[in-house]
Amino acid sequence: MRTIDDFTRPREFVSPIDDYFGKIVRQWADEEVIPNRRRYDEDWQEHLLIEPAFDRLMGKLGLQRVLFPEDLGGWGLGHSHYIGSASFRLMEEVARADTGMAVAFGVTFWPLIMICNEPHLNRRLCEEIAPIFCQTEKAVFAANAMTEPQGGADIENMEILKGSTIQTTARLEGDEWVINGHKLWPTNSGGICSLFGVVCTTRAGSTDLNDFAFIFVPANHPGVTQGAPYQKAGMAADKNGDVWFEQVRVPSYYRACGPGDDFKYFKEVISFGNLGSIAFVSGALLNVYEIIKNFCETRYYRNLPLKENDALAGILADLARDTEIIRILGYQYARMLDRPDLYGKRWSEEIVTKGRVYKYFACDRAIEMIGKVMNLMEASGSDRRWDIEKHWRDLKIVQLWMGGKQLCQMETARWFYECDTL
């Protein structure tokens, strides 16, 4: 019997921990999430159903620790040569169950990438921050506070803006940063965040890359306020809200990598953000395949199972095709991040751009394909009980975030065609 494991992965690129942890997360998904996920939408504020599942995954199974060095209680993925392929598989498995959880899970690593990855591992900050994640069995969430009012994802439009539009400021007073600003929509905000990575500037309006700063702010610090979560079309497991920083003070060494390097390595976060996005799409599509296969084997037209109707099979084929392709691209990109020696630095313009290329392809195909699969299911496609419409709603935001399609197109054109003014 054919399963999702029959979809191709470049064998050579799979990580050594892939098989073992892949199985563990899949079991977690099948037991803790998939049976309940259709009730998550009503749980968007309280997270009564969602929180325990997170605790098991991130706290008890310990996946929130993977990036930290082993001696600090982590798994050392940050300095491994398979951080890309290993995290791709993990995020894919979580997304198969619930894209919202995958996003909350994956984004928790974004700020940590700034300090856990070679060559910019920041030992002192790791020592300070690791315990928050490694010495608990509860899920702990981190967030990248990036987007600002009237900003959209401009800040991610790094090549052009160089941080010049950032309104959130960090002022050095003695050996402390004083941070002021207002952020919107960070994944893992809306009250659940424990640690913020704040994108800010040491001189408002500056295009000097040295002024771009990435500073860590524990959420319980005085002056940090998280607003209530927004109501959204889906993705109940991922809370988004306003965050205000008013005269927030943190030690000066809470800055991730320092002048210039904050900007440089922040682009690596974008690369991993795109890798994650592809993994979320891939995981969701694998589950859509499972669901629709089951649907078409148990529903009939002209007294034949739907999958035996050539016209419907054409749609099924296109779904398998796109899933197959997106998964291959995901592992290819994971490999590119795993082996900078072969493909270039993770923060290089080429690698960042190519991540956007694969990401916007994956999102476009997925939204269109799931729309067609829903149509094939007729009214059942909109029926909560089948969980397809959930994937459709959840994935849409993956398509929208990080600048959305148009920013991806502009960066793609800029790199491949050497455009100057886009």
Partner 1 sequence: MDCFNLIPCSADQPHESDILLTQTLKRWAETEVMAKRLEFREDQELLIKPAIHQLFVDFEMQKLLFPEEYGGVGLNRPEVAYTLALSLEQVGRADTGIGFLFAVTFALCSSFAMDYNLNENLCRQLAPLFCHSGRRTIGSLVLPGYDSEIKPGSRTLFHGRSYPARAKQLGDKLIIEGSNLQPLNAGCDADLFGVLCLLEGSDKPALVVIPAESRGLHRSAPQTRTGLAASVNCELKLDQVEVVEANVVFRGETGWQQLLSWLYLGMSAVTVGSLFAAYEILREWGENRVIKGKNSLLKDNPLTASVMAEVSQELLIDRLLLHQLAAIMAGRGLEEPAQAKKISIAALSVVSQITNSAEKAINQAMELMGSAGYATEWNLERYWRDVKTMQLHLGSWELNKMDLAGFFYRSANL
**CA 116 – CA 107 distance, rounded (Å):** 14
Give the single-character DSSP code of 148: B
CB of 357 to partner 1, least distance (A): 16
**CA 312 – CA 65 distance, rounded (Å):** 44
Question: Which residue from 109, 21, 114 is spatially nearest to 65, judged by alpha carbons?
Answer: 109
Which of a second copy, partner 1, none does 150 bind, CB closer than 5 to 8 A by kind? Answer: partner 1
Q: Does 405 bind partner 1 (CB under 8 A)?
A: yes
For the segment 351-380, give every residue that binds a second copy (CB under 8 A). 354, 357-358, 360-361
The binding track of 92-111 with respect to partner 1, each residue x by CB under 8 A or -, is: --------------------
Q: Does 302 bind a second copy (CB under 8 A)?
A: no
Of 60, 321, 371, 375, the residue at the interface with a second copy (CB under 8 A) is: 321
Residue 269, both tokens: 């976060």
CA dihedral sign, ordered 20, 25, 28, 29? negative
**CA 98 – CA 91 distance, rounded (Å):** 10
CB of 225 to partner 1, least distance (A): 20
Q: Does 8 bind a second copy (CB under 8 A)?
A: yes
Of 17, 49, 161, 325, the residue at the interface with a second copy (CB under 8 A) is: 325
360 vs 392 by CB, closer to a second copy: 360
Q: Does 318 bind a second copy (CB under 8 A)?
A: yes
**CA 292 – CA 296 distance, rounded (Å):** 6
The binding track of 389-408 with respect to a second copy, each residue x by CB under 8 A or -, is: -----------------x-x
Kindly indicate which of the ranges 54-62, 267-275, 278-286, 404-412 contains the residues binding partner 1, using the contact rule CB under 8 A. 404-412
- The owner of tokens 């791709």 is 88
**CA 48 – CA 233 distance, rounded (Å):** 19
Whole-Å CA distances, 184 to 110, 189, 255, 299, 318: 17, 9, 21, 44, 37
CB of 244 to partner 1, least distance (A): 18
**CA 292 – CA 16 distance, rounded (Å):** 31
Residues that bind partner 1 (CB under 8 A): 38, 147, 150-154, 157, 160-161, 165, 184-185, 230-234, 240, 298-303, 306, 309-315, 367, 371, 374-385, 389, 392-393, 396-397, 399-401, 404-406, 409-410
